Amino acid sequence: MTAEIGIIGGSGFYSLIEGARSESAASEYGSASDALSIGRMSGRDVAFLPRHGTMHTIPPHKVPYRANIDSMSKLGVERILATNAVGSLKEDYRPGELVLFDQFFNATNGRSDTFYDKDIVAHMSIAEPYCPELRSVAAEALDKLGYPYHKAGTVVVINGPRFSTKSESRFFARQGFETINMTQYPEVVLAREKGICYLGIGLVTDYDVGLEGTSIRPVTAEQVMKTFAENVEKAKRLVSELVPMIPKNRGCNCSRSMDGAIQTRK
Ligand SMILES: [Zn+2]
């Protein structure tokens, strides 16, 4: 089986795929988070993978990022649409809004974050990690839907599974980062090592530990879950709208991410 568009996110996406067939994926990088669900969406061949497993059993630091991206690549996937719950570090990035990431800052540790860790030395340029074409099409789709969103934003990625302390959160906010999450890294860089376009969609659920100097306090788990449920619906609507709008042929440079990157002499 093949697919042109990959979707990585929460298990809500199963219901969007027509004629879905399940295919387990294992490679030299181990098993993917779960079986891939492969089928049609709005006339396009798609493959869906629930990042934390169907039953949400895999914590952020244990997600098999390499196996997940490798399995998508082997299906022929050229674009990945990925949804992520994020905390906000800025007042104007409000719970319920969406963010099209343009940058990440990696604050994770110990994760396997490259396919080039033996025999071949490669230094990939990742100055612009997110596909500009997909970001622009996603913005059009969001305009159509009328959802409040941000065209850009940096996501700082922490290792988890615990949340931040106030001190850590203050530090990240002072760097000018807009959002915080546990799963954007290394998913995006692994996709780019495979020449796959990657769109990171952040769904703001809460204000991290609260925002200092404002009246915004940490929210309750109940509020977070309510916003999260609403965001899941928005993400599904966005992906259904977006998939048929994606041009068949790529007009970006993502497929050439590894050009000139390999230093090893053959
Ligand atoms: Zn691209």
Which pLDDT tens digit goes with each residue over 151-204?
Answer: 999 999 999 999 999 999 999 999 999 999 999 999 999 999 999 999 999 999
197 C-alpha to center of ligand 1: Å?
4
Residue 210 in this model has a pLDDT that exceeds 90: no
Q: What are the residue ranges spanned by the domains of the chain?
A: 5-256
pLDDT band at 257 (very low <50, low <70, confident <90, very high): confident
User: Of 102, 117, 206, 259, which residue is the catalytic one?
Assistant: 206
pTM (two decimals): 0.95
Q: Where are the beta strands (DSSP E) in 42-126?
A: 44-50, 79-88, 98-100, 103-107
119 C-alpha to center of ligand 1: Å?
28
Active site residue 208: yes
14: Cα within 13 Å, side-chain hemisphere: 13
Active site residue 34: no
DSSP state of 122: B
248 C-alpha to center of ligand 1: Å?
12
Q: Quick one: pLDDT at residue 228? A: 87
Q: Quick one: pLDDT at residue 72? A: 97
**Which residues on adjacent β-strands are paired with residue 6?**
47, 80
- CA 144 to CA 238: how far, in whole Å? 10
How do strand 36-41 and strand 30-31 relate by DSSP bridges? unpaired
132 C-alpha to center of ligand 1: Å?
6
pLDDT band at 224 (very low <50, low <70, confident <90, very high): confident
116 C-alpha to center of ligand 1: Å?
21
Q: CA torsion, points 36, 9, 140, 226, in degrees to nearest 10?
A: 140
Q: Where are the beta strands (DSSP E) in 89-210?
A: 98-100, 103-107, 149-150, 154-158, 179-181, 197-206
Note the pLDDT tens digit of each residue in 14-56.
989 999 999 998 889 999 999 999 999 999 999 999 999 999 8
Q: What's the CATH class of domain 5-256?
A: alpha beta
Other Cβ atoms closer than 10 A to 70: 22
User: Of 34, 70, 102, 208, which residue is the catalytic one?
Assistant: 208
Residues 6+ apart with CB under 8 A from 118: none
245 C-alpha to center of ligand 1: Å?
14
Q: Quick one: pLDDT at residue 27? A: 85
Q: What are phi and psi of 40, to 5 degrees?
A: -110, 145
Note the pLDDT tens digit of each residue in 103-157.
999 999 999 999 999 888 889 989 999 999 999 999 999 999 999 999 999 999 9
